[in-house]
């Protein structure tokens, strides 16, 4: 099969890779219908994380080709969406709703690499969810978004306790931030403040439910959100960037007793204990347990209630993966879908 390999930072190639096979009775092998490049794929691309002939990709939708003898909930021919973390969905941690911390958790990005024609999915019953029927290609972007960015934005909104009567502020206007705006609206938030400087992303944020846009950053951004919230800060804040400035901005705009959901993968962020202490807030985050939300999200997409697929602003064939990485690295695209 063909698949993406990152030889080293900045060097992305599409090469022949071995066809995946069933290794464990709980495995499934799927043929991808579409995959994409994630903002987090840019960390190794830019040399922030190491890359040495690394297989790439962790978002995926496709058709089940073959299953192991123990797989019960999906069968060959089923169209499926999977989470970016493998989970059994049966251990204590999974049953508590934290499938991304499953005792059998495995990051698809590290070992499987779904920027490819096929993939072996371990713990298929606990990782994959089948769609109500076979979707047409027009639904691929929305379903693919559910695999990571929508599920992550949704988790962030739930972690921040977005809901009726609450003012939500979202730090970050990338795909996850935009999906968090959509999630906050669906969860019934009264007011949604999107922090963005990018006109096209501001437009999409408003489309997804943002009621206010704040362009200021850092201390000025904190002041502006406080001004909009009667000096109190937001009830619910979502951090979807992962830099020092964005994280401290998120802490700064959360009101006392409020909730912060943080899902931006962060590198070397230092949170001064004294600032967190005096902030007096709830904080929950980390890699999102997308599997918890997948059945509900697929139903909402199938019913046409939400259209998360608009976050993809460029579509290229898998063979052009190197250009997809360049386009995202140079910020010519927010998120690139790769078709097969
Ligand atoms: Zn588990």
Question: Looking at residue 44, which CATH number applies to its domain?
Answer: 3.90.180.10
Q: Mean pLDDT for the chain?
A: 97
Q: What is the pLDDT of residues 76-128, one digit of tens each?
A: 999 999 999 999 999 999 999 999 999 999 999 989 999 999 999 999 999 99
Check: CB of residue 273 under 8 Å from CB of residue 82: no
How many whole angstroms from 91 Cα to the centroid of ligand 1?
A: 4
Domain that residue 83 falls in: 2-148+289-339
Out of 285, 310, 330, a domain closes at 285
Looking at the fold, whether 276 and 309 belong to one and the same domain comes out as no
Q: Give φ, ψ of 274 to 5 degrees.
A: -65, -35
What pLDDT was estimated at residue 58? 97
Q: Are residues 45 and 137 in the same domain?
A: yes
Contacts of 296 (CB under 8 A, 6+ apart): none
Share of the chain above pLDDT 90, in %: 96
Examine the domain organization and report whether 33 and 130 are in the same domain.
yes
Q: How far is the CA of 292 from the centre of ligand 1 (A)?
A: 11
Q: How many domains does the chain have?
A: 2
CB 70 within 8 A of CB 26: yes
Task: Return the CATH number at 227.
Answer: 3.40.50.720
Sign of the dihedral through C-alpha 113, 338, 123, 74: negative
3-state helix, strand, coil in the chain (%, to 5): 35, 25, 40
Contact of 156 with 285, CB cutoff 8 Å: yes
Which of the listed residues 246, 262, 285 is the one where a domain comes to its end? 285
Is residue 301 domain-shared with residue 194, that is, in the same domain? no
Confidence band, pLDDT 50/70/90 cuts, at residue 267:
confident
Query: What's the CA gap between 32 and 242, in Å, rounded?
Result: 30
Q: Do 32 and 167 belong to one domain? A: no
- Terminal Cα-to-Cα distance of the chain (whole angstroms): 11
**How wide is the angle at C-alpha 305 spanned by C-alphas 303 and 309, nearest 5°?**
100
Q: How far is ligand 1, taken at its centre, from the CA of residue 127, in Å?
A: 10
Same domain, 183 and 244: yes
Examine the pLDDT at 236 and tell me if it is beyond 90. Answer: yes
Query: How far does the centroid of ligand 1 lie from the alpha carbon of residue 136, in Å?
Result: 32
Say yes or no: 183 and 279 in one domain. yes
Ligand 1 midpoint to CA 287 (Å):
14
Compute the distance between CA of residue 212 and CA of residue 190 in angstroms, rounded to an integer. 11
Strand order of the β-sheet with 54-55 is 11-16, 2-8, 54-55
Same domain, 134 and 165: no
Percentage with pLDDT > 70 across the chain: 100
Region 220-240: mean pLDDT is: 98
- Say how many Å lie between the CA of residue 119 and the centre of ligand 1: 21
Cα(85) to ligand 1 centroid in Å equals 11
Question: What pLDDT, in 10s, does the model give residues 28-65?
Answer: 999 999 999 998 899 999 998 899 999 999 999 999 99
Euclidean distance between CA atoms 15 and 191, whole angstroms:
47
CA distance linking residue 184 with residue 178, whole number of Å: 10
97 and 234 in one domain? no
222 and 328 assigned to the same domain: no
- Residue 178 has a pLDDT of 98
36 with 118, same domain?
yes
Ligand 1 centre and the CA of 285: distance in Å?
18
Around ion ligand 1, residues with a beta carbon closer than 5 Å are: 87-88, 91, 94, 102
Q: How far is the CA of 171 from the centre of ligand 1 (A)?
A: 30
Residue 307 CA from chain centroid, whole number? 15
- Lowest model confidence (mean pLDDT) among 185-199, 224-238, 266-280: 266-280
pLDDT of residue 268: 85
Residue ending a domain, choose from 285, 309, 329: 285
> In terms of domains, do 98 and 224 share one?
no
Using DSSP, state whether 196 is helix, strand or coil: coil
Q: Which pair of tokens denotes residue 278?
A: 């005096």
């Amino acid at each position: 099969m063909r698949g993406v390999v990152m030889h080293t930072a900045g060097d992305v190639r599409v090469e022949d890779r071995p066809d995946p096979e069933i290794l464990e009775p709980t495995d499934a092998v799927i043929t991808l219908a579409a995959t994409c490049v994630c903002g987090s794929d840019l960390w190794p691309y830019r040399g922030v994380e190491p890359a040495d002939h690394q297989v790439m990709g962790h978002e995926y939708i496709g058709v089940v080709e073959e299953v192991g003898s123990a797989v019960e909930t999906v069968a060959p021919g089923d169209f499926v969406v999977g989470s970016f973390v493998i989970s059994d969905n049966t251990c204590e941690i999974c049953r508590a709703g934290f499938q991304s911390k499953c005792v059998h958790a495995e990051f698809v990005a590290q070992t499987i690499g779904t920027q490819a024609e096929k993939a072996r999915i371990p713990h298929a019953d606990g990782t994959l969810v089948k769609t109500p029927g076979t979707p047409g290609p027009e639904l691929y972007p929305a379903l693919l978004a559910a695999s990571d960015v929508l599920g992550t934005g949704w988790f962030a909104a739930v972690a921040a306790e977005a809901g009726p009567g609450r003012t939500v502020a979202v730090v970050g206007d990338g795909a996850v931030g935009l999906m968090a705006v959509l999630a906050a609206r669906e969860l019934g938030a009264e007011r949604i403040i999107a922090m963005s400087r990018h006109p096209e992303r501001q437009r999409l944020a408003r489309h997804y439910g943002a009621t206010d846009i704040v362009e200021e950053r850092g201390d000025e951004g904190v002041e502006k959100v406080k001004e909009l919230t009667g000096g109190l800060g937001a009830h619910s804040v979502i951090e979807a960037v992962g830099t020092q400035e964005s994280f401290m901005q998120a802490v700064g705009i959360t009101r006392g007793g409020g909730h912060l959901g943080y899902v931006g993968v962060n590198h070397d962020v230092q949170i001064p204990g004294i600032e967190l202490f005096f902030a007096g807030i709830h904080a929950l985050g980390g890699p999102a347990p997308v599997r918890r939300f997948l059945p509900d999200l697929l139903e909402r997409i199938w019913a046409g209630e939400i259209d998360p697929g608009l976050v993809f602003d460029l579509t290229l064939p898998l063979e052009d993966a190197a250009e997809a990485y360049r386009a995202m690295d140079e910020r010519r695209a927010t998120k690139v879908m790769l078709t097969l």
